[in-house]
Amino acid sequence: MTQLKLGFIGGGLNSAVGAAHFTAVSMDSRFRVEAGCFSRHEEINNRTAEQWNVAAQRVYPSWQSMLAGEVGRLDAVVVLTPTPEHKAPVIAALTHGFPVICEKALASTSDEAREIDRVVRDVAGYLSVTYNYTGYPMIRELKEMIRQGKLGRIEQIHIEMPQEGFARLNREGKPMVPQQWRLKDGAIPTISLDLGVHVLHMINFLTGEKAIEVVATQSRQGRFTQVVDNTMAIIRYTNDVECGVWFSKSALGHRNGLRVRVYGAEGSVEWFQMDPEVLIYSDNRGCRHHIDRGHNDLLLAHQARYNRFKSGHPSGFLEAFANLYADIGDDLIHRKNGGERVSGYTFSALEAIEGLLILEAMKISAQERRWAGIGE
């Protein structure tokens, strides 16, 4: 197996996502982190490199110097800076000839995402955005159930992602203060770039349907009233699919309550991230079925790649991330051999643009108290 060489931009030890990405790329020995500008702070940059066994001569004080110094030495660059700082390093890496793996959200607006997509096309580059929840084996099983028509025509989808970080207190009875960039809203509320992109991408991933119009509310309910922290929406999709969406950082009692419920004409399925190995399938004869990785009638989740250990020992968040990176690795190896994107589980700027357009329409709807068309 070819081990692919990566360079990280961002993702230092003080990052919210860096350790998750490093663990995911290391899990199946498909990748090795060989270079990086992990932080603009010298101490954190060097400490991260030491912990991850990156040679000192390949640790750079800026992402610009890393790109210049690593041309021809890396198989891909991973961009893990805060979302508002994605565009510049992503475009620069692409124009230097690097395939790029970018943490969601790809960009802060749909216009920025379109600009990135134009560069991808101009340089015939490769870009993949990490929507890691799609890597859960049972989410992919659900996608396959939908594809094979096990639920009949899809009629409704309800997805929620409530969290409590902006409302709860820490051990000292004080508010839990998030990273500073999460306490400032831009053209799209930061919570939408943080949580909303996952929720909306999940609908696209499972069904392939396209959003038509949305009606939404956005509110400030937690301890940081300068930013939106709660969004509810109803979205109409192609083929008459109706979707209910809720994502929040002010919902006490929820660490990360991602829940997916899909209703078809012949059956429904529910998945809850806190119990990630299980799909609850209900048919149109009143029967409820508990499906996990040990079920005899699995369509996809029985494959060896989704069973690092036997069923009964849950595959969780980091394993899901590693599954997504394995798919990206397949793409990169195929690309090195002169091929195109081969995985059906990797996501380009096009999916990012679709999600950002919906989030922009949500903001218009909430501000003007009306249905808003996507892209209006």
Question: Residue 271, Cβ neighbours under 10 Å: how many?
Answer: 24
- Helix axis angle for 197-207 and 137-147, nearest 10°, is 40
DSSP string, 169-213: B-TTSSB----GGGG---SS-HHIIIIIHHHHHHHHHHH---EEE
CATH number of the structural domain 136-310+355-368: 3.30.360.10
- For CATH 3.40.50.720, list the domain ranges present in the chain: 4-130
With a CB cutoff of 8 Å and minimum separation 6, the contacts of 327 are 135, 343, 345, 346
In sequence order, the 6+-apart residues with CB closer than 8 A to the CB of 174 are: none
How far apart CA 77 and CA 97 sit, in angstroms, is: 10
Triad 259, 261, 266: Cα angle to 5° = 160
286 backbone φψ class: left, alpha, beta (φ>0; ψ -120 to 50) = left
At 166, the amino acid letter reads: F
- Confirm or reject CATH 3.40.50.720 for domain 4-130, answering yes or no: yes
pLDDT in tens, the chain (376 residues): 679 999 999 999 999 899 999 999 999 999 999 999 999 999 999 999 999 999 999 999 999 999 999 999 999 999 999 999 999 999 999 999 999 999 999 999 999 999 999 999 999 999 999 999 999 999 999 999 999 999 999 999 999 999 999 999 999 999 998 999 999 999 999 999 999 999 999 999 999 999 999 999 999 999 999 999 999 999 999 999 999 999 999 999 999 999 999 999 999 999 999 999 999 999 999 999 999 999 999 999 999 999 988 888 778 899 999 999 999 999 999 998 888 888 889 999 999 999 999 999 999 999 999 999 999 8
Residue environment code for 109-130, b if the CB has 16+ CB neighbours within 10 A, otherwise e: bbebbbebbebbeeeebbbbbb
Q: Where in the chain are all domains bearing CATH 3.30.360.10?
A: 136-310+355-368
d(CA 164, CA 222): 9
